[in-house]
Amino acid sequence: MVTDRGDAEGLRSRIAAELARTRARTALLTEAVDDSELMRQHSPLMSPLVWDLAHVGNQEELWLVRDVGGREPVRCDIDELYDAFKQPRRDRPSLPLLPPAEARTYLATVREKVHDLLDRVAFDSRRLVVDGFAFGMIVQHEQQHDETMLATHQLRVGPAVLHAPAPPEPASRVAGEVLVPAGPFVMGTDTDPWALDNERPAHRVELPAYVIDAAPVTNGAYREFIADGGYDDPRWWSEVGWRHRQQAGLNAPMHWRPDGDGWAYHRFGRWDRVRDDEPVVHVCFHEAQAYATWAGKRLPTEAEWEKAARWDPATERSRRYPWGDEEPTPARANLGQRHLWPAPVGAYPAGASPLGVHQLIGDVWEWTATPLRGYPGFAAFPYREYSEVFFGGDYQVLRGGSFGTDRAACRGTFRNWDYPIRRQIFSGFRCARDASREEALR
Ligand SMILES: [Fe+2]
C-alpha cells in the first residue's frame, strides 16, 4: 500500500503514463478509419467504434471525475446512451450517438479533469483509491475496449488500415505435454493492487496430477481435425455444441476459407496462407471442446490453467506471471497489439513457466472448461456489474490474454469470460488430460 509521499508521487506519474499510453492506443484504433466508418456497425456483435470511444470517456467520468473526485458532471445527458447494460450492441448504431469530433472533445475534457484530480488525490483516503485502484480499473477498462475495437477492425470489410511488424520466429522447438504434479497451489490474489474483484481472494486449491499441452493448439494440428472430418462427426461434440455447429454451419475457424489444397485466413484486411505453427485463433468454446475430445484429451479447468501458469515447484509459490513477478516485456509475451496475430509456437522461450509451459500469456485467449463463478469468499467491488452479474454459468472463462490484450489488463490471475459460441474474440485453446497412474507416480 502507498503510505509515504515519495511512493504517492511515483504512483501518480505511473498512472499518468498508463493513462497516456492507453489513450494513444485508443486514438490509433479510432483514427485509422474515417468518420463514416467510425459510425458504422461492422457486425451486429460489435458496437460502432464511436460508441466504444465515448463509452470509455463516460466510464472515466462516472468513476474518476464524479465518484473519486466528487466533481460536477461533465455531461450527465449521455449516461444512458453509453450504459452497456441498457443498450444492447445490436441497437447501438440507431442511438443518437455523439459524432466523432464531439466524442473526442468529450474525452479530452474528461481527461483534463482527471489529471487535475490525479494531482491532488490522497491514495489512502478510501478503498476505491488505495494504490490507485480506480485509476487502474479505468486504464484496464479502456484497454479492454481497445481490444474489442481491434476485434471490430478484424470484422471490418475493406483494405488494411492497421499495420504492425510480424511476430518473432520460433527460437526453440516446443511440442508435447507437461506433467503438473498433484498438490495444492494458491489461486487468485489478495495482493495485486489493480486486480479486479473476480480475481480475489487468494485461496488454496488442491489438484490431482494432470498433463497439459506445452503450447496452444496450432493451425496445423487443427487442420488435421478438419481433414479428419471433425466438423462432421457428432461423437466429438457436446450435445449443445453439435446443435450450435449445425445451426451456425461451422466448418473451420472464423475468417478461414479454402485455398487450393489448404486454407487461407483473413487478418485485418489481408488474405494470407494459414501458417501451421501458429496457435489457432477465432474458434468458439464448442470447437475447442470438440477438438480436445477428438484428440483424446479435454480442455483444462481454470484452476489447471492457472497452476500451470503460476506455480513454482522450487518455492511452492504462485508467481504473478509464468516467468516470475516482473512485468511483461516484448521478449516474454505477444501482448498489446505489438503484432497483429499470434506468434508461432516456440517464439517466447523467455516467457515459459517453471514447468516448461509456453505462451500462456499473450498470443491467444485460451478457453477453459470452467464457467465463470466467484471464488470462495468473493465480494463484489466496486460494483456488482463488473463481474458478479455474469456468474450464472452462461459464460466460459478464458485465460492468458491475446496479442490484442494490453499488459495492464493481463496477469496470471486475470479472468476473461464470454459466451461459448463467441469466436470474433482472439480465442484459441490448449488441451489437458488426467495423468495416468504411472505418470502421477513419477
Ligand atoms: Fe465497458
Measured distance CA(333)–CA(223) in Å, rounded? 25
The reply to whether the predicted model has a pTM over 0.85 is yes
Measured distance CA(422)–CA(430) in Å, rounded? 17
Cα 84 to ligand 1 centroid, rounded to whole Å:
6
Looking at residue 333, what is its pLDDT?
Answer: 98
Q: What are the residues facing 298 on neighbouring strands?
A: 432
**Sheet of strand 210-213, all strands in order from the earlier edge strand to the far edge:** 177-180, 210-213, 432-434
Cα 124 to ligand 1 centroid, rounded to whole Å:
26
Peptide bond into 201 cis (omega under 30): yes
Q: Which of 425, 366, 49, 92 is nearest to 216 (CA)?
A: 366
Looking at residue 1, what is its pLDDT?
Answer: 58
Cα 125 to ligand 1 centroid, rounded to whole Å:
26
- The answer to whether 167 and 342 are in contact (CB under 8 A) is yes
Cα 55 to ligand 1 centroid, rounded to whole Å:
7
Do β-strands 365-371 and 427-428 pair in parallel, antiparallel, or remain unpaired?
parallel
Cα 212 to ligand 1 centroid, rounded to whole Å:
33
Burial class of residue 45 (count of CB atoms within 10 Å of its CB; 0-12, 13-18, 19+): middle
Cα 140 to ligand 1 centroid, rounded to whole Å:
10
185 φ/ψ angles, rounded to the nearest 5 degrees: -150, 165
The number of CA neighbours under 13 Å toward the Cβ of 252 is: 16
Cα 136 to ligand 1 centroid, rounded to whole Å:
14
Cα 13 to ligand 1 centroid, rounded to whole Å:
25
Cα 41 to ligand 1 centroid, rounded to whole Å:
17
Cα 248 to ligand 1 centroid, rounded to whole Å:
28
Burial class of residue 255 (count of CB atoms within 10 Å of its CB; 0-12, 13-18, 19+): middle
Cα 245 to ligand 1 centroid, rounded to whole Å:
30
Cα 56 to ligand 1 centroid, rounded to whole Å:
7
Cα 359 to ligand 1 centroid, rounded to whole Å:
27
Measured distance CA(264)–CA(278) in Å, rounded? 13
Cα 331 to ligand 1 centroid, rounded to whole Å:
30
99 φ/ψ angles, rounded to the nearest 5 degrees: -65, 160
Looking at residue 2, what is its pLDDT?
Answer: 57
Question: Long-range contact list for 436-441, CB < 8 A, 24+ apart?
Answer: 439/179, 439/209, 439/211, 440/181, 440/182, 440/208, 440/209
pLDDT per residue as tens, the chain (442 positions):
555 667 999 999 999 999 999 999 999 999 999 999 999 999 999 999 999 999 999 999 999 999 999 999 999 899 999 999 999 888 888 899 999 999 999 999 999 999 999 999 999 879 999 999 999 999 999 999 999 999 999 999 999 999 999 999 999 899 999 999 999 999 999 999 999 999 999 999 999 999 999 999 999 999 999 999 999 999 999 999 999 999 999 999 999 999 999 999 999 999 999 999 999 999 999 999 999 999 999 999 999 999 999 999 999 999 999 999 999 999 999 999 999 999 999 999 999 999 999 999 999 999 999 999 999 999 999 989 889 999 989 999 999 999 999 999 999 999 999 999 999 999 999 999 999 999 998 7
- The answer to whether 370 and 301 are in contact (CB under 8 A) is yes
Looking at residue 90, what is its pLDDT?
Answer: 86
Cα 145 to ligand 1 centroid, rounded to whole Å:
7
Measured distance CA(197)–CA(215) in Å, rounded? 29
